[in-house]
Amino acid sequence: MNMQTEFKIGNYVFDFRKRTLALGADVRKLTTREAELLLIFCENMGELVERSFILKKLWGYDDFFNARSMDVFITKLRKYLAGDANVQLANVRGKGYRLITEKEA
């Protein structure tokens, strides 16, 4: 089974296998958890990804403490993606998140 491991997110290139997020020559190394989370968003680009799905897939449990941990990772990813104004990790209140680029907005 060939899983896609490289994704274009606006002007960014995300390489899941290498755990890197590149914007031109600026390459950021991601933690395993950051890369796993970004992979979920890339595989579901433009679509709603429910919080409970992410929590169960990455942490195994959908509880308050894991949810707070996930919020920290979401904040980090938003900061990393801030270099391209056309990329947004949008909160869908009470549901989850959507990774969108200008063309999908």
Beta bridge partners of 14: 7, 21
Residue-level pLDDT at 2: 59
- Range scoring the smallest mean pLDDT among 11-15, 65-69, 75-79, 94-98: 65-69
Whole-number Å distance between alpha carbons of 85 and 49: 21
What does the pLDDT average to over 30-52? 96
Checking if the pLDDT of 104 tops 80, the result is no
Domains and CATH numbers, the chain: 6-104 (1.10.10.10)
Q: Can you give the pLDDT at residue 103?
A: 63
The pTM of the full predicted model, rounded to 2 decimals, is 0.91
